[in-house]
Amino acid sequence: MLVLTRRSEESIKLGDDITVTVLEIKGNQVRLGIEAPTGIRVYRKELYEKIKSENVRSSGLSISEFKKIKEVLK
């Protein structure tokens, strides 16, 4: 894991197309602004994990079956 220190209004770049900017720091919360191309979806991690598990559940596959398919498709 890369750990960076940024102050308010400072940014980091992820590749050429994504910029993450620290907008505000209040106590133990940080507000981030994310600029990314419209084709890239940005989710909070907990929401992403829920979407992922719902997709697996709706497919009717078990997690182990899904992992096997994922390995084959790599």
Q: What are the tokens at 55?
A: 């997709």
The type of residue at 56 is V
Dihedral of alpha carbons 31, 35, 38, 39, sign: negative
Domain ranges (residues) in the chain? 1-40, 43-74
Residue 70 has pLDDT above 90, yes or no: no
Q: What value, to the nearest 5°, has the Cα angle with vertex 28 and ends 49 and 8? A: 95
- Whether the pTM exceeds 0.75: the reply is no
pLDDT at 55: 83
Residue 66 has pLDDT above 80, yes or no: no
Give pLDDT tens digits for 7-63: 999 999 999 999 999 999 999 999 999 999 999 999 999 999 999 888 878 877 777
* CA distance linking residue 74 with residue 53, whole number of Å: 20
